[in-house]
């Protein structure tokens, strides 16, 4: 397990909250916005997101446009519906940060 400071984790989650609805960014861009080159640590922090519904970790993708290694099969929305991934036509159109 990669260790990260509580401050780094909170900063990652704060940036996730700033990603606009309908937009995506990359682990690398989040690391850059934090003044770091530790994008793999960013990925590990995001994978441990304790608040999946309210902190939009699903808006972060790999630099090559692929979805990261987050298991979303067990996500449920607040109203009880399964949250399904939408991977068709997913592209990184613009930088968020």
Task: Indicate whether 97 belongs to any domain.
Answer: no
Task: Indicate whether 41 belongs to any domain.
Answer: yes
Which of residues 50 and 79 earns the better pLDDT score?
A: 50
Residue reference for tokens 């922090």: 45
Task: Indicate whether 27 belongs to any domain.
Answer: yes
**In the annotation, is 57 catalytic?**
yes
Tens digit of each residue's pLDDT (9 = 90 or more) over 24-73: 999 999 999 999 999 999 999 998 888 888 888 889 988 888 887 765 55
Query: Half-sphere exposure (CA, 13 Å, Cβ side) for 37?
Result: 0
Q: What is the pLDDT of residue 42?
A: 93
Domain that holds residue 5: 1-92
Task: Indicate whether 9 belongs to any domain.
Answer: yes
Give the residue among 93, 27, 34, 95 at the shortest CA–CA distance from 63. 27
Choose, from 16, 31, 34, 57, the residue flagged as catalytic: 57
CATH of the domain at 7: 1.10.10.10
Give how many domains the chain has, as a whole number.
Answer: 1
Task: Indicate whether 26 belongs to any domain.
Answer: yes
Which of residues 23 and 74 earns the better pLDDT score?
A: 23
Alpha carbon distances (Å) from 63 to 26, 37, 86: 6, 13, 17
């Amino acid at each position: 397990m990669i260790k990260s400071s509580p401050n780094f984790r909170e900063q990652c989650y704060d940036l996730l909250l700033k990603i606009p609805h309908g937009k995506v960014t990359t682990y690398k861009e989040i690391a850059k916005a934090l003044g770091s080159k530790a994008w793999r640590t960013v990925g590990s922090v995001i994978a441990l997101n304790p608040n999946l519904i309210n902190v939009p970790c699903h808006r972060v993708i790999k630099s090559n446009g692929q979805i990261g290694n987050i298991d979303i099969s067990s996500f449920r929305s607040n109203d009880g519906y399964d949250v399904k991934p939408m991977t068709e036509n997913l592209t990184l159109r613009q930088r968020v940060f």
